[in-house]
Structure 1
Amino acid sequence: MFLFRKRPEMPDPADTLPGRPNPIPTAERHFVNGHPLKGPYPEGFERIVLGLGCFWGTERKFWQLPRGVFVTAVGYAGGTTPNPTYEEVCSGMTGHNEVVLVVHDPAELTLEAVLKTFFENHDPTQGMRQGNDVGTQYRSGIYTLDAEQAAVAERVRAAYGEALRARGFGAITTEIKPLETFYFAEDYHQQYLAKNPAGYCGVGGTGVTCPIGTGIAA
């Protein structure tokens, strides 16, 4: 994953790759907990899609949370190419981001707590990169399913931005956009670091605590 060094600007939608009409094959169940990647999910559980760098390492951050996460999956979102492959996303010509789908029980793990994990486990001030991983697919992004999620994301982003500024960091570059489509990544990417414990993980936080999100709902 770290071998790709792509241009750090978004492509014009008119120039993006055409993709394909059908989804690419992926796993049916989570390699770690056995839950179905594509559902059905338990009633009342919520979904959020997050981009915070190389999705191998970022997915692990969420499935390792002690409570409240039903399933995680890696995929692509935020661009225009339908049903992209990993190689196409890495070309920089899809507009897509490497993202993680998190399905969680809001009674045990609030959206604020999910976003606390999100912000504390990457540097959201780096633009189109995370550390040595450079390219549009490594940008910081929150892709929301409704206006309520967007409002929470805006509030947490603002609070974390203030905490970062107090520690000398620059402005947050995290994009917050409505989710158009989440495309599941190929089977071998799903729960990659559980299948390959010595695999690459370029994820690292700033060391600044997010002031919103206690982890467990009251």
Structure 2
Amino acid sequence: MTPMKEDYIKIIFELGGTERKISNKEIALGLDVAAGSVTEMITKLVEEKLVIHEPYAGITLTQLGHQLAIELVRKHRLWETFLVDDLKYEVADVHSEAEVLEHQTSDKLADALYDFLGKPKFCPHGGVIPDENGDYPESSNIVLADIEDGQEIKITRIIDNHDLLTYLHNLGVSANTKVIVLRHEPFEGPIIVKRLADETEISISFKAAHNIFVQ
């Protein structure tokens, strides 16, 4: 399994590909890759029986793909939690470190790390952490871009992407931030929100708004 294939499995899981059908566009936005690259990789994953692709409907993980995603995501997010909580890394800086560590982590080490951290349910950017049985709490699959003007929402999780997390950190936006959606600028322009904590208006790009999940 190549790192790129693993990235696709993880992003489909993050986007909710166990409960709903994910579009090529959502994957392209999440990984910041061309639509043609997504089509090519999905074909390979279908051949390996890791995803199901229904033309004009979308993509979901198979049971095998789901099991692989749980293993990858669990180890990755446990290391992210350790790096932030215990080694005081910035949230935006842990992805690349966790990417390396997850591949060197046995199930036994993952279980020990899970216990050491107090069996966390969520990582620092709001992603779910499956337990030793592969169970995990439900998480929202509603993205900021789909929220209507005037609604008050809480950001619950952010796609695990270094550039995205750095961008949002610089804007003062993170998991658990509460905002009111003021307006959507036309022609795939930014979404303008007001942070409730200090009433600051923030402009969030169209692409970023599709990788921020809210409730």
Q: TM-score, structure 2 length as denominator?
A: 0.26
Higher relative contact order (CA 8 A, sep 6+): 1
Structure exhibiting the larger radius of gyration computed from Cα positions: 2
Whichever structure has more helix as a proportion of its residues is 2
